Amino acid sequence: MDNSQPKDKSQQKQRKPRNATPKSLENAAHYHLGRFASSSENLRRVLGRRVERSARAHDTDRAEGLAAIDDLISKFERAGLLNDKVYAAARAVSLHRRGASRRAIQAKLREKGIASDLIEAAIAALAETHDEPEFAAAAYARRRRLGPYREGEARAERRQRDLGAMARAGFGYGLAIRVIDCDGAEELERDAARENK
């Protein structure tokens, strides 16, 4: 065993970032899209960070790198590798399934650089397939073990905290009360199953 290696990352020699050429940016974009679904703006940010690191390390031209990113994004959109409308719809469904509120879904899509009209279209599509999209609160409560998913006396003691957690997650007060004060997890699950039919 070689003990001469520094154990602390700050002591290790920093590897110099790669030079951001159009070809290396395209390779990085393909690699990123192979691992993650992405919006156009999110991919632009990922590649922009690469250009910025290259400019600092190799004194490359930032403007040329950003122009190459713009060309690459356009090329990928024409080829169908990037489609913000499809990304927004799929991400909205995924977040809803995990128990995200409508407000949380909107915030996450905005964070990824999705245009407002595409966010509203994704939320509207979600509303068409689910009678009450906000009832994702049941999934959220189950995942976080809130309200009816708590055991015994802890439920009454933690009621206000549970309501606060629901509010911070973006659920309205009326829905939060309905979920937290539900008689039992079975009733909540039945209501959620009925809503998803």
Query: Residue 197 has what pLDDT?
Result: 52
Share of the chain above pLDDT 70, in %: 85
Do 106 and 134 meet the contact criterion of CB atoms below 8 Å apart? no
pLDDT tens for the chain, 197 residues long, are 555 555 665 555 678 888 999 999 999 999 999 999 999 999 999 999 999 999 999 999 999 999 999 999 999 999 999 999 999 999 999 998 888 888 999 999 999 999 999 999 999 998 888 756 556 778 888 888 898 888 878 888 999 999 999 999 988 898 899 889 888 777 776 766 665 55
This model's pTM is above 0.85: no
CA nearest neighbour of 183 among 158, 150, 161, 135: 150
